Amino acid sequence: METQVQGRAAAGAQDAGTRPAATVRDAAFDVMRRLGMTTIFANPGSTEVSLLAGFPDDLEFVLALHEGSVVGMAAGHALGRGAPSLVLVHSMPGFGNSVAALATARLNHAPLVVIVGQQDRRHLELDPFLAGRLNGLAGEYPVWVDQPLRPQDVPGAIVRAHHEAVTARGPAIVIVPMDDWLAPAPAPHEIFGASRMLRSAGADPDVVEELAALLDDAASPVIVAGAGADSPDGWAALVALAERLGCPVWQEPFGPQAGFPQDHPQFAGHLPARRARLRDVLAPHDTVLVAGTGMLRQYPYDEGPLVEPGTRVAVVSQDAAEAHRSPVDVAVLGSPAAVCAALAGAVTPRRAFDGAPLTSRPPAPEPPAAGEPLRAAHVLAALGDRLPRDAIVVEESPSSRLQLNAHIPAREPMGFVSAMGLLGFGMPASIGLKMARPDRPIIAVLGDGSSLYSIQALWSAVQYRAGVVLVVLVNGGYAIMDRLSEKTGQAGPWPALDGLDIGGFARAQSCETRRVATHEELLRTLDELTVDLAQRETPLLLEAIVAQDPTFDA
């Protein structure tokens, strides 16, 4: 996808060079077209009117009602299309509202170009209303931030932001004072930035040789697959390497995407997010190859190392921060797909794996007895039985995530997406994903509390006909906090959430809803909803009324 987008950018460069635009705004629109960023996700205000009034017909404007939804939708859209999506937010208040979502986009490696409006350049020194100190507002989460020195530098800054977003896989920020858009356009040669940015995905032979020697010397190697391997090339490379080694493959703990087919017989499961249990799981192996993530995200703090002493660990990641912070023997900064594909041809083949599958879906729980409530496992098992192979499942139900992983394996690339960070990311991300990938069935599984953080995103789903199904597990409580507080032996101060009408919030935005509270209703409704899930053109929110699960284990 990236090559196609940048090929279009190159094809348009000559046209832009022979057809000077009248204003900075016109030149910026030309740049957006060249880069393939023709959809703009926005919640604008007065400082953006000079950009948006008379918006070109060949570009698409998508409005959301809160900046968290704006960024979440754009991030899902970017992940779905494999290229940066464009965001527009309103000066200090809009940028401030977007920060948590931008942090989550960074953690999910979603490439975004974010244009932030600013007050008129001509009186910024007087700190006018709606001016903001924007450069540091999002902290270190943007991969790049720039406020161009001249209006004529804005189009080139957008080009640079696009390249930075792809290279560092996160949000790149361009701050634009409102009067810049109507300033005279730069000359074509002043729109700096490479017309084509080619990124080599090769594997250094010396690196491959060192990793191959490490694996060949192993008595019992194991692979850990991370989100950075979630692509057709990444899956193919890890499958080839795992089959060559005849070794198990685990999924990283708390990964935002799946890095290996979870119905492959050598898939061993999801690693735990506690050190003692992680050490136990990896103890039978003397060498660990981690591909597509760092080493290794945990949740509660436990004493001790991540692996048993003497275990050798290598990490392959295209994220420099992941590689740099990993306490391992060898860290490789590079494409996991390219490195692992080369490794598959370089390691000495071992006896092929010929055992029974290392993991399998647990059986569906018995239907609840008469008068007994549904539980999350009933819903997730029923979904797992019915979803088509190419479905994309967006997860944001923290107290049920382990059960979702068990009952709904990712069977194709981009089969699983989870929000890392901000609650409220999952709903808009699923909407943006559907807008980018209308060819694939997309379903979101959300907790009732999670859904409330961005429930207003449903308005955009209705308005722009994003046919995603959102399954909200309604247990009427703050389940994950309830379970964690029980481990301390003390109750928390928060009230129950049983007075909320989530379906009512959805219907108020003209979103279709269903509600199920019995096993029979659940199966009948899912049979109906999943038969043509890919073809849906309107959103639907399904409330599944479930009891809280009595335990939670990270």
pLDDT tens digits along 263-294: 999 999 999 999 999 999 999 999 999 999 99
Single out the residue of 117, 153, 144, 146 nearest to residue 31, CA to CA.
153
Identify the pLDDT of residue 481: 78
Radius of gyration of the chain (CA): 24
User: Using 50, 70 and 90 to split pLDDT, how confident is the model at 476?
Assistant: confident
Most confident of 6-10, 22-26, 191-195: 22-26
Output DSSP code: residue 444.
E
Strands (E), 197-270: 221-225, 249-251, 267-270
pLDDT for the residue numbered 199: 84
Q: Return the percentage of the chain with pLDDT > 90, whole number.
A: 84
DSSP state of 302: -
Burial 301-324 (b: 16+ CB within 10 A, else e): eeeeebbeeebbbbbbbbbeebbe
Residue 365 in tokens: 């729980």
Output the average pLDDT for the chain: 93
The whole-number average pLDDT for the span 475-492 is 80
Per-residue pLDDT for 16 more than 60?
Answer: no
69 pLDDT band, cuts 50/70/90, is: very high
Burial pattern 80-119, b for ≥16 Cβ within 10 A else e, equals bbbbbbbbbbbbbebbbbbbbbbbbbbbbbbbbbbbbbbb
Q: Is the pLDDT of residue 313 over 90?
A: yes
Predicted confidence (pLDDT) at residue 5 exceeds the cutoff of 60: no
Where residue 10 falls among pLDDT bands split at 50, 70, 90?
very low
Cβ atoms of residues 116 and 91 within 8 Å: yes
Which domains, from first to last, does the chain contain?
Answer: 2-190 (3.40.50.970), 205-346 (3.40.50.1220), 374-547 (3.40.50.970)
- Sign of the Cα torsion 256, 260, 264, 266 reads negative
Amino acid 34: pLDDT = 95
Beta bridge partners of 61: 40
In 9-49, where do the E strands start and end? 39-43
Q: Is the pLDDT higher at 488 or at 98?
A: 98
- How far apart CA 446 and CA 357 sit, in angstroms, is 30
Question: Tokens at residue 428, please?
Answer: 């808009």
Given this model, what pLDDT does residue 498 score?
79
Contacts 24+ apart (CB under 8 A), 532-536: 533/387, 533/388, 533/391, 533/441, 533/442, 533/443, 533/469, 534/388, 534/390, 534/438, 534/439, 534/440, 534/441, 535/467, 536/467, 536/468, 536/469
pLDDT, tens digit (0-9, with 9 covering 90-100), for 500-525:
899 999 999 999 999 999 999 999 99
pLDDT of residue 487: 77
| The pLDDT value given to residue 2 | 39
Pull the structure tokens for residue 331: 């860290």
How far apart CA 20 and CA 14 sit, in angstroms, is: 11
Confidence of residue 494 (pLDDT cuts 50, 70, 90): confident
213-232 pLDDT, tens digit per residue, is 999 999 999 999 999 999 99
Dig out the tokens for 204 from the structure: 């250094």
Beta strand 392-396 with 85-89: parallel, antiparallel or unpaired?
unpaired
The pLDDT tens digits for 96-131 are: 999 999 999 999 999 999 999 999 999 999 999 999
pLDDT class of 1 with cuts at 50, 70, 90? very low
Give the model's pLDDT for residue 517. Answer: 97
| pLDDT tens, residue by residue, 414-431 | 999 998 878 999 999 999
pLDDT for 7 beyond 60: no
